[in-house]
Amino acid sequence: PPPAEKYEYQAEVSRLMDLIVNSLYSNKDVFLRELISNASDALDKLRFLAVTQPDLLKDSVDLDIRIQTDKDNGIITLADSGIGMTRQELVDCLGTIAQSGTAKFLKALKDSKDSGADSNLIGQFGVGFYSAFLVAERVEVSTKSPNSDKQYVWESEANSSSYTIREETDPTKLIPRGTRLTLYLKHDDKGFAHPERVEKLVKNYSQFVSFPIYTWQEKGYTKEVEVDEEPTDANKDEQNEIAEKKKKTKTVVERYWDWELTNETQPIWLRNPKEVTKEDYNEFYKKTFNDYLEPLASSHFTTEGEVEFRSILYVPSMTASGNDDMINPKTKNIRLFVKRVFISDDFDGELFPRYLSFIKGVVDSNDLPLNVSREILQESRIVRIMKKRLVRKAFDMILGISMSEDREDYMNFWRNFGKHMKLGCIEDRENHKRIAPLLRFFSSQSEEDVISLDEYVENMKADQKDIYFIAADSVTSARNTPFLEKLVEKDIEVLFLVDPIDEVAIQNLKSYKDKNFVDISKEDLDLGDKDEDRDKEMKQEFGGTCDWIKKQLGERVASVQVSNRLRTSPCVLAAGKFGWSANMERLMKAQNV
């Protein structure tokens, strides 16, 4: 056979290899994801071509990926029955950087070096094939394209500026089609050649690749073998006769190696929702997000049109660390897949706004590039549209819980995520219409159970135009405020805003169903019951008293007025029309503003 030919790497490849080998240790795991994703691409290409050229499949119909490990020698082989590469393709694909994703990676890496940022970029960019050198000191690629009669072997070492290509001559290594990668692992990385380790990585990163991935695993089955030895004391009765028989056989475990399907080729989100049970969804949730509690709700949907993606979203039944944790946008709650390849679960507001960061789920897009980076995510129009749709679906789901027959479901949600909804009032004007019906408050007519704004509106008096509220630090102090006296007398319901964030949230909402929120502690409260004559009379009678009180209090009050808003209390401190409410003032003081 002709000798192996030696080729020099394109300068950029050398540089990339150098970087990978010498500076990117942090995320070695990704090598397997990258190689599996290449195998999956190669299978996709073949499957696509075979649509018009069914002959391509004639030598081998199976489209799959097989990973074998040799832990004693530290070797991993990864074989696919995909499109393979011709000699020229080996040179073009594995000797140069054609692909923009990798080029971008190089640039980003350079920028990050300059700014001293972390070199964790490898996880975000597809550095592709060369990531094999994260763990391998030598890589062999034996490949057969349907467009070539011959099978070729590409070979290179880490830290080398060149590679070789030769014809495959070992008859035991000939394959009908596809590519077989052999990774000879570096001394310190031989641990990757453990079957369990590979299995775990496959499950973690590539569980939902649409071609079957088999790993070579040791298995065992038990079998009964006869044992020659005679029972020591032969007995007479029946009981012992059975025991005697048992003693003659022994259970042994027979060990052998075989291929084991390691991924689920049909991810649950690709299945028809009609065929997936609630138990399936809950199981998937618990497995994926390591939660022992069932989610409160789930939603499985596909969007079409401008942007296509599939998703399953969940509302968990508890916040990550109890109710009072900070609302944290940096969660690992959304797992993004591109064409079923796991891309990232490391988001910071790109797919859900901060106040909805508790939503968990998977999103699978066909429109994003496989090597999508944070930068791409932040700038992408596709992602913006996705975000909008995801948020809408999340609200549908929450609304669903609020309409559940079991009231306790929503109370559970509200206890855990009520704060998030209120934060939404402040941070997401665009979705006020969706958030407002989800809010709950205590009221003068419902001190034990919170009510919704809809319930409030239904309970409004015929001539009542506004929604009344009073902010206080507890239900008790709200109930005892003199402002309430007249409204209680008139049987008008007043919302009690007792959570510090409530008042700001309501101020941001401004109105609900065209009814303004009105603070009953403000000076200009108008209940539509003005009696001009009586007012004049009162002002005449008590004008002097007011002036006297104002003189005594001086700068401490803006004014002292006769008012008809009280019933039993002699006087009340009201907030100015444009000023802070007493509650706000207290909050500001507490925060030292």
Residues lying near ligand ADP in the complex (CB under 6 A) are found at: 34, 38-39, 41-42, 80, 82-85, 93-94, 99, 101, 126, 128-129, 179
3-state secondary structure of 128: helix
Give the tokens for residue 300.
């499985």
Query: Is 583 marked as binding a ligand?
Result: no
Residue by residue, DSSP assigns 335-391 as EEEETTEEEE--EESSSS-GGGTT-EEEEEESSS-TT--HHHHHH-HHHHHHHHHHH
The option from Mg ion, ligand ADP, none interacting with 353 (CB < 5 to 8 A, set by class) reads none
Looking only at residues 462 through 501 of this chain, which bind Mg ion when binding is defined by CB under 5 A? Answer: none
User: Three-state DSSP class for 144?
Assistant: strand
Q: Which is nearer to Mg ion, 38 or 481 (CB)?
A: 38
Residue located via tokens 């004014």: 559
> Which residue, 342, 360, 390, 387, is CA-closest to 298?
360
CA distance 286 to 278: 12
Residue type, 348: D
| Cα atoms in the 13 Å half-sphere on the side-chain side of 456 | 31
Is 255 known as a binding-site position? no
Q: Mark the segment that binds Mg ion (CB under 5 A) among 14-22, 112-120, 128-136, 555-563.
A: 128-136
38/444 with CB nearer Mg ion: 38
Residue 353 makes contact with Mg ion by CB under 5 A: no
Closest CB to Mg ion among residues 38, 81: 38
Does 124 count as an annotated binding residue?
yes
Tell me the closest approach of the beta carbon of residue 307 to Mg ion, in angstroms. Answer: 23
Q: Report the alpha-carbon distance of residue 487 to residue 89 in Å, rounded.
A: 82
Q: Please pick, from the candidates 128, 267, 316, 424, the single residue that binds Mg ion as defined by CB under 5 A.
A: 128
Residue 42 interacting entry, from ligand ADP, Mg ion, none, C-beta within 5 to 8 Å by type: ligand ADP
Closest residue by beta carbon to Mg ion? 128
Task: Say how many CA atoms lie within 13 Å of 292 toward its Cβ.
Answer: 0
The site partner of 39 among ligand ADP, Mg ion, none (C-beta below 5 to 8 Å per kind) is ligand ADP
Q: Does 131 bind Mg ion (CB under 5 A)?
A: no
Residue closer to Mg ion (CB basis): 38 or 207: 38
Q: Using the minimum distance from each CB to ligand ADP, give the nearer residue, 149 or 405.
A: 149
The pair of structure tokens assigned to 584 is 């706000």
Q: What's the CA gap between 537 and 138, in Å, rounded? A: 101
**CA–CA separation, 556 and 162 (whole Å):** 84
3-class SS at 198? helix
Please tell me the distance from the alpha carbon of residue 339 to that of residue 81, in angstroms, as a whole number. 19
- Choosing among ligand ADP, Mg ion, none, which partner's interface includes residue 146 (Cβ < 5 to 8 Å by kind)? none
Q: Is 128 annotated as a binding residue?
A: yes
The response to whether 543 counts as a known ligand-binding position is no
Query: Contact, 68 vs 77, CB < 8 A?
Result: yes
CB of 45 to Mg ion, least distance (A): 12
**Closest distance to ligand ADP from the beta carbon of 369 (Å):** 9
Count Cα atoms within 13 angstroms, Cβ side, for 415: 11
Rounded to a whole number of angstroms, the minimum distance from the CB of residue 101 to ligand ADP is 5
Q: Which is nearer to ligand ADP, 104 or 190 (CB)?
A: 104
Question: Which spans in 24-95 are helix H?
Answer: 30-52, 87-95
Place of tokens 């040791």: 218
Return the number of the residue (98 or 225) whose C-beta is nearest Mg ion: 98
- When CB distances are held under 5 to 8 angstroms depending on the partner's kind, the choice from Mg ion, ligand ADP, none that residue 179 binds is ligand ADP
**Annotated binding-site residue? 85:** yes
Q: How far is the CB of 349 from ligand ADP (least distance, A)?
A: 27
CB of 581 to Mg ion, least distance (A): 59
Q: Which does 99 bind (CB under 5 to 8 A by kind): Mg ion, ligand ADP, none?
A: ligand ADP
Beta-bridge partner residues of 489: none
- Per CB under 5 A, which region of 30-38, 238-246, 546-554, 583-591 contacts Mg ion? 30-38
Residue 522 CB neighbour total at 10 angstroms: 15
CA geometry: angle at 437 spanning 433 and 443, to 5°? 130
β-sheet bridge partners, residue 141: 154, 181
Instruction: Give me the residues that bind Mg ion (CB under 5 A), please.
Output: 38, 128
State the binding site: 34, 38, 80, 85, 100-101, 124-129, 179, 374
